């Protein structure tokens, strides 16, 4: 039961049919309640140990664990994976010729040769955390419009020191993965406005990305983490449940002898 609910809460069912996923969880809670009622009824008739009580507790624990941990893994990894997979891929994007509004549905962007992050125009907006932005530019020329931005949180100490992501200093990197954290977007927009004022540039329709050499690999990492935690969680719950069954068996045997 745990494995089935855990799978539902982590993978595609939760993404496409969230109501169905939570209905499955509530159904197991309901089954646990029914078993608890049966156990209470049997207890009133005799004092013999009942596996119904154990089953009620086990089903409740399975549903609660699958719901809590499955939901956490889904939102931290699999939701991003399914979102990014559903978005478009753009190749040979030139920041000089293209505007942000032309790639609003982009998940992965592969830029043209010569594209880089312009460290000289990086800046951070502080609101509790520091929201760092740096324009994605082509060559050293000043662009008429800066719509493509690499972003990160708490990874820039001062203007000109953008250190966000594993590939910020990788000269081979010229691609990016779309920012999917909606709660951070307003703060990155404020950071861009701050950069416009500081450097005298224009960003009409800024689009935010994570700078990386292998965006497809980063997307697949979300899926790998989801599968990894599914296997670990299933195995862990099996071990816990196994020991609970062993302890309950010995406990019920002792009660029977008494």
Quote the pLDDT of residue 250. Answer: 86
In 3D space, the residue among 52, 54, 57, 30 whose CA is nearest the CA of residue 39 turns out to be 52
Report the domain count for the chain: 2
User: Do 187 and 115 reside in the same domain of the chain?
Assistant: yes
pLDDT by residue (tens digit) across 139-158? 777 888 999 999 999 998 77
CA distance 16 to 145: 38
**What's the whole-model pTM score?**
0.83
User: Do 51 and 108 reside in the same domain of the chain?
Assistant: no
User: Do 171 and 206 reside in the same domain of the chain?
Assistant: yes
- Residue numbers of the domain that contains 173: 89-213
User: Do 137 and 197 reside in the same domain of the chain?
Assistant: yes
User: Do 205 and 140 reside in the same domain of the chain?
Assistant: yes
Quote the pLDDT of residue 218. Answer: 94
User: Do 81 and 95 reside in the same domain of the chain?
Assistant: no
User: Do 6 and 97 reside in the same domain of the chain?
Assistant: no
**125 bridge partner residues:** 131
User: Do 159 and 198 reside in the same domain of the chain?
Assistant: yes
Quote the pLDDT of residue 46. Answer: 60
Given a contact cutoff of 8 angstroms between Cβ atoms, the answer to whether 103 and 113 are in contact is: no
Task: Check whether 6 has a pLDDT greater than 60.
Answer: yes
Given a contact cutoff of 8 angstroms between Cβ atoms, the answer to whether 32 and 240 are in contact is: no
CA quadruple 45, 46, 49, 52: dihedral, nearest 10: -10
Task: Check whether 246 has a pLDDT greater than 60.
Answer: yes
pLDDT by residue (tens digit) across 69-105? 999 999 999 999 999 999 999 999 999 889 999 999 9
Quote the pLDDT of residue 48. Answer: 58
Question: To the nearest whole number, what is the mean pLDDT of the chain?
Answer: 91
């Amino acid at each position: 039961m745990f494995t089935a609910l855990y799978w539902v809460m982590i993978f595609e069912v939760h993404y496409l049919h969230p109501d169905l996923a939570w209905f499955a969880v509530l159904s197991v809670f309901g089954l646990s309640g029914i078993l608890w009622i049966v156990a209470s009824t049997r207890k009133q008739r005799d004092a013999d140990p009942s596996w119904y009580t154990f089953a009620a507790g086990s089903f409740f624990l399975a549903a609660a664990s699958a719901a809590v941990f499955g939901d956490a893994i889904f939102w931290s990894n699999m939701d991003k994976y399914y979102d990014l997979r559903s978005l478009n891929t753009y190749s040979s994007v030139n920041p000089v010729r293209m505007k942000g509004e032309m790639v609003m549905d982009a998940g992965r962007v592969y830029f043209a040769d010569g594209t880089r992050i312009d460290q000289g125009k990086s800046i951070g907006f502080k609101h509790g955390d520091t929201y760092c932005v740096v324009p994605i530019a082509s060559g050293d020329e000043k662009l008429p419009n800066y719509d493509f931005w690499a972003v990160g949180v708490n990874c820039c100490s001062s203007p000109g020191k953008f250190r966000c992501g594993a590939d910020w200093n990788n000269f081979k990197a010229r691609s990016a993965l779309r920012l999917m954290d909606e709660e951070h977007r307003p703060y990155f927009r404020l950071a861009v406005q701050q950069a416009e004022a500081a450097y005298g540039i224009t960003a009409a329709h800024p689009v935010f990305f994570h700078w990386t050499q292998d965006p497809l690999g980063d997307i697949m990492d979300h899926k790998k983490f989801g599968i990894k935690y599914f296997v670990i969680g299933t195995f862990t719950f099996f071990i816990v449940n196994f020991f609970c069954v062993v302890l309950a068996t010995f406990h019920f045997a002792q009660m029977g002898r008494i």
